[in-house]
Amino acid sequence: MDRVIVERIVCFAYHGVLLEEQTLGQEFQVSLELGVNLSEHRDDQIDAVPDYRAAVSIVEEVMYGRSQRLLETLACLIADKLLTIHGVLEVTVEVRKPNPPIPGVQGGVSVIVTRGK
């Protein structure tokens, strides 16, 4: 399967378990891997391939939409919506909180989900 990679879509949003996260907000980073089939691709036309601009719009819709408590929920919502893009056969979504309010965690926290049709 061929892949389209979109790395680190940065969103400032209001998700989290703690009230402070929901009211003050924080940075989230979302990366995508879209499984597509380009074996028959011959045209240099945007409408001949899955449009990854639509994928970015879906991420923004979820991240700037209704507040969620869990990274897992965000990743699953994004993955399910990405599978509606024409030509996308499989998705891997990473939702990352680079600065979680957890003492001692300096490298961030991520959830990665993979879904297919």
Residue 97 is among the residues annotated as catalytic for this protein: yes
Residue 17's nearest CA partner among 79, 68, 76 is 68
DSSP strand pairing (26-36 vs 2-13):
antiparallel
- Structural contact between residues 21 and 15, judged by C-beta atoms closer than 8 angstroms: yes
Q: Which of 4, 52, 97, 100 is catalytic?
A: 97
SS3 38: coil
- Residues with a catalytic annotation lie at 97
